[in-house]
Structure 1
Amino acid sequence: MPRSRVLEQHIAVFGESGSGKTVMLSSFYGSEQEPQNIKKNSFNVVAENAGQGTHLHQNYLGMKNSATVPAQTRFAATSYRFLLRFKGKTENAPLKRKPFDAVRLVWHDYPGEWFEQDVSGPEEAQRRVETFRGLLGSHVALLLVDGQKLVDNAGEEERYLKSLLSNFRNSLLLLKDDLLEDDKPLVTFPRIWVIALSKADLLPDFDVHTFKELVIEKVGDDIVELRTVLGGLVESDDALSVGEDFVLISSAKFSTGAIEVAQRVGIDLILPMAAVLPFERHVRWAQAEKVSKKVASELLSGAEVIASAIGAVGGVVAALTGSKNKVAEALGGALSRLAPNLEEALKSAGTKFEAAEKAAATKQQNLAATLEGFRNDLDAGEEKAILARSVG
């Protein structure tokens, strides 16, 4: 019996205690369980750990029906694994007709307390290192800026922002020696660091450009210092985006005695950011020759299946179907040709879908249609001034 094929994308969420990580995760998962969303989506979101799924759904329903905010978790270093299973007629089709059966999103939640206070002893210090190692494979990292603390520090926002960034930077410096073996830079590491405004509903006059300008004006130098620290951990540090992408996140609209879970902002961009944003950025870096062959092989390791899903054929897929060593060799001689082909495949996917509208019921169940929908979601997020993507 053929094995199930899954595209696995990782996202790491960093934020201080109380910055809204648990609420955000519960809003993400709970909203996907709403009957209207199950009906309209081309996929179902399923928690691989049923207990985690029940707990997150319970949190969401508590907000929705009882205006109860989920309890904060302390020192809980947890990874959540969600499967996006595609629905429809193609579920019973032979496996070879589909590039994928599912997409897996792995969500790493890093305890905020480790930004704000020292560990209690060697055992906790080791757990902190192991936790960070566990999220090194993340494709995207979200660094949360707490909207409540911006409100509390109105007019002096730099006090809070500088503290946030310096705590995070210092935490990384403390981990550096434990993360780097023989001082060798890491090939696998989160390379896209998105700055996210959590609790954005508390700042209704902010769009993403207002937020971006505030952060850069107040703590631009601190972002540069953070990038320097992160760059010191990775091979090919030119292939690193830190503080170049910004997003607004609001898990619900909170008011006295009510939580309106339908009034979400940015939650629906989490899947697109995790699944599509890295692929687009990695292709751009490869095209600009900002990465070594080893890093290019790692960054584009999922390109075969994504390119296959969106219709990239010929030499592109052929170059990526071998072992990682063969991939690196192929990339070494044809990187400048490979990356534009992949990028063109992305750009042309929409046209291909439009030309086959009669097959929409079938296409809807395909990974290609889902990825194209995610790309459209990112574009719409920018148009609505919820998302600002790097132009570099």
Structure 2
Amino acid sequence: MPPLDLHVAVFGASGAGKTVLLAAFYRAQTQPAFQEEYAYKIQAVNKAQGNQLLGRFYRLEEGKFPEGSTRFDEIEFDFFPRDLPEAAVRVHWYDYPGRWWEDDPVDAEEREAMRQGLLKLGMSQVGILLADGAKYRSEGTGYIRWLFEHFADECDRLRRTSAATGDEVSFPREWILALSKADLFPPDYGARDFEREVCRDADDQLAKLCSVLRAEHAFGHRFMLLSSVAAPADAQVDPRTSLGVRTLAPAVLVSTVEGAVREAQATRKEKSAKETFFQGLRDLVQFVDSVDDFLPKRYQIVSKILRFVSIKDFASTRVDRLKKIREDALRRGDTFKAVLTGMVAALRDEEGLRAYHQNQ
């Protein structure tokens, strides 16, 4: 059975930390200790890309931080359950270069690369906007307001430019706002604190951004803290100091399911205004066999996800119970259930609770 495809687009201005995040994301989840704890590991589909990411990380350990990407990169990762040979999930990671926020394409080749990159964004179930933690720490709320204004203006420009050339760009409808370099903040600072500050001090800018993206619920209810590596003054990097990196893929998975539920609810005229996500999910499961008939193509994978992960798993099952379900699935060779249940559990462990917060 082919793996489930999850598409995620990552945005961030130059210096926000996207390149370092990708290297840390890959390195952390290829290690035996990770596989033992979380019951899955990842592997780059393209071996050369995997080696390049590992090389970046090992140079990080020497204090050599990589230069930011100047091109649109697509990297694919397969998620394998522990001790099972079949991949369960394939993540397509689209890295939109920060330089494209700030400068026009230098030539026809780069213009075409931007056009092709924008078309791929429409395939993404989830977008991640990466805020620079160092700038937020030094500049405060003014930086976040600038980031939202700047990103909204850029998305609006990209949509107008694309429409003029006959290529209507579409952006992900589900978003995660992530704060990079979280090691710069106190140990008791969590994603919930970040959410409180942003919603309190930049609500007007959030509203504008949602309007530009044509998605009422796009921003303002999923927040993450991410620390790819800790970088003290002597620049000696400890690979065990990451935060949120292991929570990222699970957050994307759950956001994808939430997006599908929202799409399904929108098609039902009798929906109650007070209907919760999990009520909508319960209704979705009742006719999961026909869900592909009305969900947009980017969300059709949800019909498969919901056959392997129960409503209770998403809603309230305890971590220890989720881990037991995961281990049972491994013993049966149930690839999908093992990985998907493991991801849901990762959102409930100690790191997940600090690194990821959802306020709706």
Q: Secondary structure at the match of 1:72?
A: coil
Cross-structure match for 1:217 = 200
Give the one of 92, 96, 110 matched to 1:106.
Answer: 92
Post-superposition shift, 1:51?
1.0
Are 2:38 and 2:346, in contact at CA under 8 Å, matched by a contact in 1?
Answer: no
1:108-123 matches, within 5 Å, as 108-121=94-107, 123=109
Cross-structure match for 1:376 = 345
1:33-182 matches, within 5 Å, as 33-64=30-61, 66-69=62-65, 71-88=66-83, 91=85, 101-121=87-107, 123-154=109-140, 157-158=141-142, 160-180=143-163
Are 1:63 and 1:261, in contact at CA under 8 Å, matched by a contact in 2?
Answer: no
Identity of aligned residues (%): 26
Residue by residue, what CA displacement relative to the aligned partner does 1:190-233 show, whole Å, maximum 9, x if unpaired?
111111100011122532222122222332111111111100xx
- In the alignment of these two chains, the number of paired residues is 336
Post-superposition shift, 1:357?
8.9
Residue by residue, what CA displacement relative to the aligned partner does 1:4-51 show, whole Å, maximum 9, x if unpaired?
411010111100111100110000101122232244443331111111
Distance change (3 Å), C-alpha of 1:346 and 1:50? same
Are 2:7 and 2:123, in contact at CA under 8 Å, matched by a contact in 1?
Answer: yes
Q: Secondary structure at the match of 1:307?
A: helix
Residue by residue, what CA displacement relative to the aligned partner does 1:265-311 show, whole Å, maximum 9, x if unpaired?
110111102223211342255236479x9863435411332123236
Structure 1 residue runs of 5 or longer lacking an equivalent are 92-99, 232-236, 312-342
Are 1:79 and 1:109, in contact at CA under 8 Å, matched by a contact in 2?
Answer: yes
Structure of higher CA gyration radius: 1
Cross-structure match for 1:198 = 180
Q: Using the alignment, how far apart are the partners of 1:128 and 1:42 within structure 2?
A: 37
Match status 1:264 vs 2:263: no
Q: Using the alignment, how far apart are the partners of 1:194 and 1:107 within structure 2?
A: 14
Q: Using the alignment, how far apart are the partners of 1:348 and 1:210 within structure 2?
A: 23
TM-score (norm 2): 0.81
Q: Using the alignment, how far apart are the partners of 2:40 and 2:199 within structure 1?
A: 38
1:184-195 matches, within 5 Å, as 189-195=171-177
Q: Using the alignment, how far apart are the partners of 1:299 and 1:210 within structure 2?
A: 32
Residue by residue, what CA displacement relative to the aligned partner does 1:153-183 show, whole Å, maximum 9, x if unpaired?
14xx31x223222221121111113445999
Cross-structure match for 2:287 = none
Residue by residue, what CA displacement relative to the aligned partner does 1:302-349 show, whole Å, maximum 9, x if unpaired?
1332123236xxxxxxxxxxxxxxxxxxxxxxxxxxxxxxx4685598
Amino acid at match of 2:174: I
Are 2:75 and 2:93, in contact at CA under 8 Å, matched by a contact in 1?
Answer: yes
Amino acid at match of 1:253: A
Distance change (3 Å), C-alpha of 1:214 and 1:137? same
TM-score (norm 1): 0.75
Q: Using the alignment, how far apart are the partners of 1:356 and 1:171 within structure 2?
A: 44
CA RMSD of aligned residues (A): 3.3
Structure 2 residue runs of 5 or longer lacking an equivalent are 270-291
Q: Using the alignment, how far apart are the partners of 1:47 and 1:184 within structure 2?
A: 30
Q: Secondary structure at the match of 1:18?
A: coil
Q: Secondary structure at the match of 1:269?
A: helix
